[in-house]
Amino acid sequence: MDPESLRSELSSSIPPAPTVPTTPSITISLTLSTTSPPFTSSTPPQLTTALHLHNSTSPLTIRVRGTSLVRPLHCTVLIDAATGEVRNPKSASGQFRGHSLRFCRANKDGFLTLYPGKPHSVTCSFRSEGARPGVTPQDALRKAARGVSLETLNAAMNNDPNAMELMVDASRTSMGPFGMDGCVVGRDYVLRVKEKMSVGWWRYGELEELLSLSEEMVREREAGWEREGSQVGRGEKREGLASEGARLVVGVEEGKGEVTFRAVD
């Protein structure tokens, strides 16, 4: 046998290398509608964040409830370029308490399907109603509400329920600055994606497809209990699909993780 034929025969007899499964990855990007967001324009500046799916040719459903991933003002930090002072554009205190994380149709709104090559974008206003340079609109109301007697609050409610609601809401310490509230005109700021965000639950497939599969699994499990006359499992939570794998760390889309802007009047 000539050398070329021998090499060909040997090559055909070698089994192909096993395919190493790839783990999907997710990155996040942000954009601001203007690099000079104004306090006084009729149209407030818009902040947009987008989730990007990588290393996957199939849709990927993730749990977003209990995370900041689809809340632009929660998944970014605002940095004063001159002083380095860092703050969240909006406080996330208490936003995610009391939510069930179980995968089922009742919690459908807490899950999201990402598609390859199709970023999922969320846009919100980067300026609150009534914002003005160097002051958050809540400051005056918060100060006014502290130390006010119950009788005074009741009188305010009787005279103007809307004002009362605003005053009580503003007095809550969990409220934080919103977007560009508190920014100083003429000063530069850096808006940056937060670090160490992650996804705890994920599975390949579209949301509706996975919900149907999960419901079928629960029905089969319950039918098995009925056939066996077993009391085991009765009263337990009807758990659906578990996560496909370990927690996914959310990275930053290359070159799109921060924007610099200057606040203007």
Residuewise pLDDT in 10s, the chain (265 residues): 555 664 555 455 555 544 445 789 999 999 999 999 988 888 889 999 999 999 999 999 999 988 889 988 888 989 999 999 887 765 443 334 434 577 888 888 899 999 999 999 999 888 865 555 655 444 444 444 444 555 555 665 565 545 545 454 444 333 345 678 778 889 999 999 998 899 989 999 999 999 988 888 877 776 765 555 554 444 444 456 778 888 999 999 999 999 999 989 8
- Side-chain half-sphere CA neighbours of 56 within 13 A: 22
- Side-chain half-sphere CA neighbours of 249 within 13 A: 5
Predicted local distance difference test score (pLDDT) of residue 68: 87
Predicted local distance difference test score (pLDDT) of residue 138: 47
Sheet holding 111-114, edge to edge: 111-114, 60-63, 202-204
User: Do 91 and 143 share a structural domain?
Assistant: no
User: Do 187 and 87 share a structural domain?
Assistant: yes
Domain range enclosing 161: 137-175
The reply to whether 230 falls in a domain is yes
The reply to whether 118 falls in a domain is yes
Buried b (16+ CB within 10 A) or exposed e, 206-244: ebeebbeebeeebeeeeeeeeeeeeeeeeeeeeebbeee
Q: 112 with 64: CB under 8 angstroms?
A: yes
User: Do 201 and 169 share a structural domain?
Assistant: no
User: Do 197 and 105 share a structural domain?
Assistant: yes
Number of domains into which the chain is organized: 2
What is the gyration radius of the CA atoms in the chain, in angstroms? 26
Q: Where are the beta strands (DSSP E) in 115-215?
A: 120-125, 188-193, 198-199, 202-204
Region of residue 159 (left: phi > 0; alpha: psi -120 to 50; beta: else):
alpha
The reply to whether 11 falls in a domain is no
User: Do 90 and 147 share a structural domain?
Assistant: no
Predicted local distance difference test score (pLDDT) of residue 91: 44
Q: Report if pTM > 0.85.
A: no
How many helices and strands in the chain, by DSSP H and E?
5, 12
User: Do 102 and 202 share a structural domain?
Assistant: yes
Predicted local distance difference test score (pLDDT) of residue 125: 87
User: Do 232 and 109 share a structural domain?
Assistant: yes
Distance of CA 55 to the CA centre of its chain: 20
User: Do 151 and 30 share a structural domain?
Assistant: no
Q: 49 with 252: CB under 8 angstroms?
A: no
Q: 68 with 115: CB under 8 angstroms?
A: no
Cα dihedral value 163, 88, 124, 62, nearest 10: -120
User: Do 126 and 148 share a structural domain?
Assistant: no
The reply to whether 224 falls in a domain is yes
The reply to whether 145 falls in a domain is yes
